[in-house]
């Protein structure tokens, strides 16, 4: 199970990659494996604001719909429109082309409650 070293992780299996005050968010390799074939992704609107741990998107497999939670508080600056036609990117490239949305962080100190790769690996037993 892939857990890249340069990311932070939430308990609910989102990852965030920080670039200045913009964080790119997706779901982990472990999460996409558990979900199986992703067939639909419902993304937030650009400009919408979310609190940390608030439901922000929905990823659906054939079997179930799963809420995705904002790993940090912030405003949506971009969404991955490629997922509209190719939701399976979440399965094939969860840390790359399968990203979900970008957030402008409201409070950088919230990152402290996220997990580092070692802690996330421990959580999923990887």
Partner 1 sequence: MASYPADLRRTPLFQEHLKLGAKMIEFGGWTMPVFYAGIMAEHQAVRNRVGIFDISHMGQIEVSGTAAANWLNTLLTNNLEKLSIGEGQYTLMLNERGGIIDDLIVYRRTETGYLMVVNAARIAQDYAWLEPHSIPEIRLVNQSEQYAAVAIQGPLSVELFKPIGQLPSRNHLDELQIAGTNLLVARTGYTGEDGFEIFYSASAAVAVWERFLALGEPLGIQPCGLGARDTLRLEACYPLNGADLSESRTPLEAGLGSFVDLEKPSFVGREALLMQKKHGPEQRLVALKVHDRSPPVRPHYSLFAAERQIGELTSGTLSPSLGVGIGLGYVEAGFARPGQEIEIDVRGRKFPATVEKKPLYRKHASS
Residues that bind partner 1 (CB under 8 A): 36-37, 39-40, 42, 58, 60-63, 65, 84
Rounded to a whole number of angstroms, the minimum distance from the CB of residue 19 to partner 1 is 30
Considering only CA atoms, which of 68, 96, 98 is closest in space to residue 81? 98
SS3 label, residue 63: coil
Tokens at 62, concatenated: 């054939």
Rounded to a whole number of angstroms, the minimum distance from the CB of residue 67 to partner 1 is 10
- CB nearer partner 1, residue 85 or residue 112: 85
Give dist(CA 39, CA 55) in Å, integer. 19
Give dist(CA 19, CA 34) in Å, integer. 28
Report CA Rg, the chain.
13
Give dist(CA 105, CA 58) in Å, integer. 21
- CB nearer partner 1, residue 11 or residue 42: 42
- CB nearer partner 1, residue 20 or residue 125: 125
- CB nearer partner 1, residue 51 or residue 84: 84
Rounded to a whole number of angstroms, the minimum distance from the CB of residue 39 to partner 1 is 5
Rounded to a whole number of angstroms, the minimum distance from the CB of residue 53 to partner 1 is 19
């Amino acid at each position: 199970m892939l857990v890249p070293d340069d990311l932070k992780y939430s308990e609910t299996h989102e990852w965030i990659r920080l670039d200045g005050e913009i964080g790119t968010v997706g779901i982990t390799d472990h999460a996409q494996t558990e979900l199986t074939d992703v067939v639909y992704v419902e993304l937030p609107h650009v400009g919408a604001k979310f609190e940390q741990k608030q439901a922000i998107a929905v990823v659906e497999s054939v079997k179930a719909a799963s809420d995705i939670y904002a790993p940090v508080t912030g405003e949506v600056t971009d969404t991955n429109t490629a997922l509209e036609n190719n939701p399976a990117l979440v399965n094939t490239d969860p840390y790359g082309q399968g990203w979900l949305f970008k957030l402008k962080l409201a409070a950088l100190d919230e990152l402290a409650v996220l997990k580092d790769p070692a802690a996330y690996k421990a959580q999923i037993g990887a």
